[in-house]
Amino acid sequence: MKSDEYKTITAQVGEGFYSEKRSKFLAFAHHVTTVDEARALVERYQKKFFDARHVCYAYMLGAQRDEFRANDDGEPSSTAGKPILGQINSNGLTDILVIVVRYYGGVNLGTGGLIVAYRTAAADAISHCKFEVRQVESTVTYRFAYVMMNDVMRVVKEMQPRIVSQKFDNTCEITLSIRQSEADHLRERLAHLSFGE
């Protein structure tokens, strides 16, 4: 994968399940892009499964995969959140939240058993997701005289950036979004138009 690409899941929720010694582990994988979005979903699951013993989760955010969190929600340290995060990492995913809800079955599983349970449930949820590779995009804003319209549009047609906004007046302005690795090339081509080269 190129440096300006990242792997995530689609908006469709992936669901997983694991059962061990009457304890049930329900897992849900969501596409999220902000910490607030992740927190709101965790709260929603805590309310929905209010009778569950634990609602553990992990998330990974950002194209650089540099914002993440793992939460054990009262399970012994590193037996829930970390194995869930481990599954996110082993799939190389970002912009994802995986929640695992545990209903206690009356028999302790021990730390090894818990790690296996949370890891397996998370893996099952992720396996029911659809993956997609997205590009990190940069925006380029360019101001130009109306007479240059055809030249600017030729560059847009050739390089295929997404048009974010455009304003046509005596002085025109166009904002384009293009994958990060091509942004400098787009800027250069537009700059050449200004200098008539």
pLDDT digits (tens, 9 = 90+) for 165-196: 999 888 899 999 999 999 999 999 999 987 75
pLDDT for residue 77 is more than 50: yes
Give the pLDDT of residue 76. 96
pLDDT score of 170: 82
- pLDDT for res 106: 92
pLDDT at 36: 97
* pLDDT of 196: 59
* Burial 107-117, CB ≥16 within 10 A → b, else e: eebeeeebbbb
> Mean of the per-residue pLDDT values for the chain?
94
Q: Is 165 exposed, middle or buried (0-12, 13-18, 19+ CB in 10 A)?
A: exposed
